Amino acid sequence: MKAASIRDLKIELNTKTKKELVELCLQMAKFKKDSKELLTYLLYEAQDEEAYIESVKIEMDELFDQVNSSSYYYVNKSMRKILRLAKKFIRYSKKKTTEFELLKYFCEQLLERHAPLSNYTLENIYDRQIIALRKIVASLHEDLQYDYGIELERLEEMK
């Protein structure tokens, strides 16, 4: 089965009643965990972005605490897993400030818990996130650029 385009889906959804839309949303949420998480964000957490950021940081902390540091392989694998989780939650929000905060927190925790960066892969993960943070800062409003630019410089100096 080929998926319909967003445009076609939007047209079809406009023809549905409110009750049918609710049923479709619930059916989607039951089908896939990501859909349920996105719906939870949109309904409950989108209004308070700060609380959302804090809840994601708590979840990231739990994963950082569970990192198996017996070998570089497991550390690298765990860091990629935490980063993948952070990017998923960033995708739900779509706000550049949330993206900056979560990626900055990831980099801080990476340095704090695994400093000095013990192998090339960890250093590479860190460097790629710094590059991503620079791009985010460049796309923000001038006032935010200054504030976040200072935080980014502090983060780069920590390495």
* Cα angle 10, 12, 14; round to 5: 70
Residue 10 inside a domain? The answer is no
- How many structural domains does the chain have? 1
Around Cβ 5, how many Cβ atoms within 10 Å?
9
Is 80 exceeded by the pLDDT of residue 15? yes
Q: What mean pLDDT comes out for the span 99-106?
A: 96
- Full domain range(s) for residue 153: 49-158
Is 80 exceeded by the pLDDT of residue 131? yes
Q: What is the pTM of this model?
A: 0.86
Is 80 exceeded by the pLDDT of residue 118? no
Spell out where the chain has E strands: none
Residue 9 inside a domain? The answer is no
Residue 100 inside a domain? The answer is yes
Residue 59 inside a domain? The answer is yes
Residue 67 inside a domain? The answer is yes
Residue 1 inside a domain? The answer is no
Q: How far is residue 91's CA from residue 140's CA, in Å, rounded to a whole number? A: 17
Largest CA distance in the chain: 57
Q: Which among 88, 85, 93 has a CA at the least distance from the CA of 47?
A: 93
The pLDDT value given to residue 68? 86
Mapping DSSP onto H, E and C, the string for 117-153 reads CCCHHHHHHHHHHHHHHHHHHHCCCHHHHHHHHHHHH
